[in-house]
Structure 1
Amino acid sequence: MKSITIKGSERESVGKKSTKALRNAGKVPCVVYGGESPLHFSADEMSFKDLVYTPNAHTVVIELENGEKVTAVMQDIQFHPVTDSILHVDFYQLFEDKPVTMDIPVRLEGNSPGVRNGGRLLFRKRKLAIRALPANLPDFFNVDISKLRIGDNIAVESVKSDDFTILHPDNTVIVQVKTSRTAIADVEDDEEETEEGAEAAAEGAEAPAAESNE
């Protein structure tokens, strides 16, 4: 999985006064859990743009001024209800031998024949929660919808792997195509009708020929 570096400063004080002063200075108070003790630090709000304002999933390398580096994943984020500025971020420290839980985005590939025939594509699960060792965290799930016809769906079972555990039931629908009022017969039905039409045309062509021989 791709990683983003965030440069920060360890916080000496974690009281309300110092937190408010950090936010007024355009910095975000953060905490890293999972280690021997919580690590409190702050970083410029702009440092989080590639982590927060993206559909992609990333791990994070937190570089502190004292030279310490911590690898983590974002666990929670709080936004201001009016301005949408970032108020606080929680991280969870990663260790090579400890599994971690993370939401991984789903990407759809291909064009659904069911949609081409007027069906409605319903993208039910845009992210899947998984548990895995850090080295086995995928960047995203690729789901091929090129064979998805009206009435079909693709469930979690089809994207399972030995590298991680998906924290959803196997029958959880990721994407499906449902019929709609404007839907037409599926491609296979169209082909059958074309073949029947060709046979009828051939029979019609033979009939006049038989009459002319009499």
Structure 2
Amino acid sequence: MAKHTGLAVEKRDFSKNPRQLRAEGKLPATVYGHNFDSVSLQLDEKAFSMAYKGDKTVILELKGDGDTYNALVKHVQSNAITDEIYNIEFYNVKTGEKLKVSVPVAIVGESPAVKAGGILRTPQSEIEIECLPKDIPSVIEVSISGLENLEDTITVGDIKYPAGITPVSAEGILIVKVSSPTAGAAAATTSTEVAGLAKK
């Protein structure tokens, strides 16, 4: 089930530029959506960080000036070095309208192949799905208990999804693979050799 968290917002004060807002501890933001007129807002930076916590699946209830918007965080523009947030884009969600969202993968269970010495590799950490807002899961659980042999894999199409959830990511995308220890060692050796050649 989708998580909901309240967050106070204000209508955007365009008499101040984004840098001035950030100096006051506030962030400029935009809410947009399907058949929805975009709205410019501003909100407290610390309150946003506490409510969001990097979770793309949480529905934020943006409340202020008599209006309420249920929204997902679609994009956070920030400085790659300092992590300072510049701007936020929210997507307005509607109760009966399906939407697409990327959900983290959670590995569960134990793999016999891994217990026997295989190396578990997880090249993909998220899966894009489509569902109603009320059905957004916090994670997609992927059981590895069926991985009994080296080179066994799990793709997007192999996963059993909860009712109401349809994967959007291509079925063939690799989520989990059990590699042999020798393959891992060979890859590490190759990387070391390449690094050594680069220094010459």
The interval holding the TM-score normalised by the smaller chain is 0.7 to 0.9
Moved >3 Å (runs of 4+)? 50-56
In the alignment, what sits opposite 2:131?
Answer: 132
Letter in 2 for 1:152: D
Alpha-carbon spacing, 1:48–1:24, altered in 2? closer, same or farther (3 Å): same
Alpha-carbon spacing, 1:50–1:177, altered in 2? closer, same or farther (3 Å): farther
1:159 is paired with a residue whose SS is: coil
Question: In structure 1, what is the Cα distance between the partners aligned to 2:81 and 2:179?
Answer: 38
Matched-pair identity in %: 26
TM-score using structure 2 length: 0.81
Alpha-carbon spacing, 1:50–1:112, altered in 2? closer, same or farther (3 Å): farther
Whether contact under 8 Å (2:78, 2:85) holds in the other structure is: yes
Whether contact under 8 Å (1:5, 1:63) holds in the other structure is: yes
Question: In structure 1, what is the Cα distance between the partners aligned to 2:147 and 2:85?
Answer: 40
Letter in 1 for 2:152: D
TM-score using structure 1 length: 0.76
Whether contact under 8 Å (1:118, 1:182) holds in the other structure is: no
2:19 is paired with a residue whose SS is: helix
Q: CA RMSD, aligned part only?
A: 2.2
Deviations 1:127-150 (A, max 9, x none): 111122212222211111123232
Whether contact under 8 Å (2:26, 2:44) holds in the other structure is: yes
The structure with the greater share of residues assigned to helix is 1
Unmatched 5+ residue regions in structure 2? Answer: 185-200
1:42 matched to 2:54: no
Whether contact under 8 Å (1:105, 1:128) holds in the other structure is: yes
Unmatched 5+ residue regions in structure 1? Answer: 184-214
Whether contact under 8 Å (1:56, 1:140) holds in the other structure is: no
Whether contact under 8 Å (1:141, 1:159) holds in the other structure is: no
In the alignment, what sits opposite 1:200?
Answer: none
In the alignment, what sits opposite 1:202?
Answer: none
Matches within 5 A, 1:149-160: 149=148, 150-157=150-157, 158-160=159-161
The structure with the greater share of residues assigned to strand is 2
Question: In structure 2, what is the Cα distance between the partners aligned to 1:127 and 1:139?
Answer: 11
Matches within 5 A, 1:1-214: 1-13=2-14, 17-34=16-33, 36-54=36-54, 57-64=57-64, 66-149=65-148, 150-157=150-157, 158-160=159-161, 163-181=164-182
Alpha-carbon spacing, 1:120–1:78, altered in 2? closer, same or farther (3 Å): same
Shift of 1:55: 5.3
Alpha-carbon spacing, 1:161–1:75, altered in 2? closer, same or farther (3 Å): same
In the alignment, what sits opposite 1:206?
Answer: none
Letter in 1 for 2:141: N
For these two proteins, the number of residue pairs brought into alignment is: 180
Deviations 1:10-32 (A, max 9, x none): 1131x7x4222111111111100
Deviations 1:29-60 (A, max 9, x none): 11000153211111111122245434562111
Higher Rg: 1
Question: In structure 2, what is the Cα distance between the partners aligned to 1:80 and 1:5?
Answer: 26
